[in-house]
Each structure stands twice: as C-alpha cells, then as structure tokens.
Structure 1
Amino acid sequence: MVDRLEQSKALASDVRLTILTWLKTPALHFPHQVTGDPAEIGVCVTLLADTLRISQPTVSRHLEVLRRAGFLRVRRIGRWSFFARDEITLSDYAEWLRDTL
C-alpha cells in the first residue's frame, strides 16, 4: 500500500522539489556528467550535492526521503549512486491528489 502521507511529506521541502524539477530534464541541468547520460542512468549524488551547494550526506538524506516515497529510483554503478525520477509513481501521486482534492 502506498503511504500518501509519506509521499506528501516528501514534497514538503524546497530542496526535494528542486531535485525533482532538475531530474525532470537531467541532460539540461547536468550536461557535465561524464559517467553516462543522466537521462539514461540518472544523476550522480556528487553532482546533485555540488549543484545544490550542500554536503553529500545532506543531499543523500533528501534523496532517501524521495526514494522511500517512491518518487526516485536509484541505480548503482560501481561505488556510485545515480538517481532518476520514477515517472509512474509521480503520475500516480498527481492523479491521486487531483482526485482527492
């Protein structure tokens, strides 16, 4: 069962909303990622931290909240983690929100 309260709380942060917005068009916001195409593999935590100008542990906490809510998926390549939006879950949440409110 999807926890709509946890999903709603995950969106109650400017930083997390910014992350979701940037990951909507990752090639536009992270064209300098050299490991791989950010649209294909996601965006590296290091780039997110650098672009947000916050520490890696802090951005990791934000990413984990979004992941637990189902809004992000993570892909591990070697010792690096790459994050991308889960469009199905985001669409499902938006539909639920429209229907509920």
Structure 2
Amino acid sequence: MDEVAAAIADPVRRDILVMLREQRLPAGEIADRFMISRPAVSRHLRVLRESGLVRDTLVGRQRLYELDASRFAGLVEWLDQFVRVTGWEHRLDALETEVYRTRRERRARGPADHRQENTA
C-alpha cells in the first residue's frame, strides 16, 4: 500500500495512470503528452512499473504500458475507513429522501388538505 501511495503522490504519474485507464499506450506516446523530458517520463514509468500499477510489454520495438488497477485494492480498502466513518451518511440520505417525498405529497394534496392535517 505504501508503494502505491508513494507512486500516485506525483501529479505526472497520476496523469499517466489516467491516460492508461482506457488503453495501452507506447512509452513514446506517453512522453509526447508532457512538457518534461523523455528521460523524466521514463523515470515516472519506472516508478509506476515497480509499484505494480502498470505493466509493460515489448511489442516489436515498442514498449506498451497498461494499467493494473488491482494494485489499488489495498489503498482503496484503507481509504474506505475514512469515507465511511459511520453509518450516518446513509441514514441522513434516507431522511433527506423522506423529507422530499413528504413535501411532494403535501404539494400534490394542495393547501386545503394541509390545513385539515394540522387541525386533526
């Protein structure tokens, strides 16, 4: 998990991961999308490869990189404890839904029905 967190700490590496989310890309094409040097992009790709977030395959003279999202599982599981601190979020969402439903029903009944409800 620490290795993955360290790898995604850099914005260039995060951008590379986003690029690889949809398709495999050759190293040269990845490098062309940045204003930094090719050797710098190569170093970022090496960090991502060593962390297990990307795999590379040699196809002819091209090295293709692809995302291995399975490595995020441990980090996602750890982060989840902060996202779902309590069950309150779910309960508050249910309460909000109920409030909106009640308001909708009251509007549909009209003001006369609302007055009768308050006097009963």
- TM-score when normalising by structure 1: 0.71
**2:30 partner letter:** L
Tell me what 1:57 maps to.
39
Q: In structure 2, what is the Cα distance between the partners aligned to 1:83 and 1:99?
A: 31
Equivalent residue in structure 1 for 2:55, among 73, 90, 93? 73
**1:85 partner letter:** L
Q: Which runs of 4+ in 1 moved over 3 A?
A: none
Determine what percentage of the aligned residue pairs are the same residue: 35
**Structure 2 unaligned blocks of 5 or more:** 84-120
Task: Point out the structure with the larger helix share.
Answer: 2
Larger radius of gyration: 2
Higher relative contact order (CA 8 A, sep 6+): 1
CA 1:65/1:54 → structure 2, altered by over 3 Å: closer, same or farther?
A: same
Q: How many residues align?
A: 83
Alignment of 1:1-101 (within 5 A): 4-25=1-22, 39=23, 42-99=24-81
**Structure 1 unaligned blocks of 5 or more:** 26-38
